Structure 1
Amino acid sequence: MTAPAPEARVPRTRRQWFTLGVAAVLLAVLCLVAARWQWHRYTDREAQIDLVESNYSAEPVPVADLLDGPGAVLDPADVWRPVELEGRYVEDGTVLLRNRPVHGTPGFHVLVPFEAELPGGDEIVLVVDRGFVPLGQDASAPSTVPAPPDGEVRAVVTMRADEPASGRGAPDGQVQAINTAQVLAAAPGGADWAQGRMVGAYGQLRSEDPAPAVSPGALPPPDTDPGSHLSYAFQWVVFALGAVAGYVLLWRRETRPVTVTAGELLEESDLQPRRPARPRRTSDEDYEDALLDGAGQARDTSSA
């Protein structure tokens, strides 16, 4: 039984090649768009890291150098800078920040307003994130909330920009974002006492003097991991090049002239069935040869 001959390859039409080309270009464009998006995320992240590295380790300055009075808004270039505060905590205004875990541990941040004194006798109210407390037994509130120091306090905080106001609801005395207006309004007494003294920023506590007997857990330093955005950008560029290169290689493979080697010809001849040999006709010479052979054999027999 002979093997079947290989089927001939049907060439693609111009319409098919055009469709494949458009698909390859569209795929390459989408990959490049994704690469550009990852590149912008990488550059934005690098800018954030540069800001952290230049500001976080700087020497503390008086808060008036960054927030000169009520209504002031923190300059984005001053985020992560440490400042010194002198004044008093308003313990009755303590509010808890929800859904902000630390090192993977769920819990709450303790937010306390601070009346900071400025040169000239002015005051501003700055929300201070004093630290982290874990969940209580029912997970709706912590078991205990450490109280801030009484009286005059000197504190060093890291300046952060006010977060956008959250539209999500929260139980009484709790918030979903560190937005000065929302934090002060969530306190039992409301925010009327701070009107005209609020600022567009908040602080993350580094130290306070005098130190209380019990403090919330310290907040971690800012994350400076650049992430994988740069490698993702290069991967998307490689995918874009692969889409175009794949189309070109397919076109060259299917449109180049077909060359047949001697081995392929021999293989093709072996696959074709051979016709059986036709019997040869007996000629007069064959009869004469047969008679002579017979006569010779008869003489040999009689002589024996």
Structure 2
Amino acid sequence: MKTWRRPSWFALLLTAAGMLLFVRLGCWQLHRADEKQQLLDRYAQAAQAPVQPFAAAAARRPAAAFPRYEVRGRYLADRIYLLDNPRHDARGGVEVYVPLRRDGDDALLLVDQGFLPGNGSDQPPQLPALERGPVQLHGLYVPPPGVGYRMGGNALRRQTRWPKTTVYLDLPQLAADLGTSVYPRVLALDADRGSIYQRQHVLDVGSMPPARHRAYAFQWFTFAVAALVIFVLRHRKPRSRDVSQP
């Protein structure tokens, strides 16, 4: 006795198309996970790379993804920006950014000082004093953190006192606020045990880190298996039992 119903061409094509789509989506998620993991690995390795003069970045686009530069200049100590409650810390706090002017350069370089944890109140933490004279800095030249959702418009324009606080870092808005051009990346300073700032910088890969991409890949592959199981169950005949007469 046959235990299998002959499927229609429509059912075959629909199941095959669905499985192919789910598998392709799963493979795409795995590919994105590998790309982001490689990006994170390069970022981690860049912290140990040799220091290069920043003039290379000023003259042309850096060849390395995350070059490590040495920069000389003076802080604009009265123009401090606070990125409120960065994503890498759950306790609350601010990431501190200060513009730096290099000698003979009209463009400003935004320097990421590091993270200061919250103090349990609505007020920002106390900021340590900045050097007023020439400084020599070392750090990674990295893209600014993602802006996410721009809720509430340009908060910098409405603030008249410094330091200014923002929930996202938009370099064109900062350039307009400072009245001069700003480099398209920021200098994330190297870790310093003697500094009050926490400088465990994490590369911003958006809301989809590699682990989440892999989780979505597993989900799509599960859908492909589920489509095959549903197809088999719908076309399998139940076995009939012989009922013997007494």
Using the size of structure 2 for normalisation, the TM-score is 0.73
Q: Distance in 1 between matches of 2:124 and 2:109?
A: 23
Q: From the superposition, tell whether residues 229 and 21 of structure 1 become closer, same or farther in structure 2 (CA, over 3 Å).
A: same
Q: Distance in 2 between matches of 1:128 and 1:184?
A: 14
Higher helix share: 1
Deviations 1:146-176 (A, max 9, x none): 2222211111121112457673333731223
RMSD: 3.9
Moved more, 107-116 or 18-27: 18-27
What amino acid maps onto 2:197 in structure 1? P
Asked whether the equivalents of residues 137 and 143 of structure 1 are also in contact (C-alpha less than 8 Å), the reply is no
Counterparts in 2 of 1:137 and 1:43: CA distance versus 1, 3 Å: closer
Over residues 92-133 of structure 1, what are the superposed CA-to-partner deviations in whole Å (9 max), with x where a residue is unaligned?
A: 11011123143422211111101123xxx4454101111112
Query: What is the aligned partner in structure 2 of residue 127 from structure 1?
Result: 110
Q: Secondary structure at the match of 1:67?
A: helix
Q: SS where residue 111 of structure 1 aligns?
A: strand
SS at match of 1:236: helix
Q: 1:178-257 to 2 correspondence within 5 Å?
A: 178-185=169-176, 190-192=177-179, 195=180, 197-206=181-190, 215-220=196-201, 222=203, 226-227=210-211, 229-230=213-214, 232-233=216-217, 236-237=220-221, 239-241=223-225, 243-244=227-228, 247-248=231-232, 251=235, 253-254=236-237
Match of 2:74 among 85, 88, 91: 88
Whether the aligned pair in 2 keeps the contact of 1:81 and 1:159 (CA below 8 Å) is: yes
Report deviation, 1:66.
1.8
Is 1:64 the counterpart of 2:55? The answer is: yes
Q: Which moved more, 1:175-184 or 1:227-236?
A: 227-236
Tell me the distance in 2 between the aligned counterparts of 1:36 and 1:133: 40
- AA partner of residue 150 (structure 2): G
1:145 to 117, 127, 131: 127
Which structure ranks higher in relative contact order (CA pairs < 8 Å, sequence separation ≥ 6)? 2
Q: TM-score, normalised by structure 1?
A: 0.61
Larger-Rg structure: 1
SS of the residue 1:51 aligns to? helix
Secondary structure, in 3 states, of the residue corresponding to 2:58? coil
Distance in 1 of aligned mates of 2:85 and 2:189: 19
Q: Does the residue aligned with 1:142 lie in a helix, a strand or coil?
A: coil
3-state SS, counterpart of residue 35 of structure 2: helix
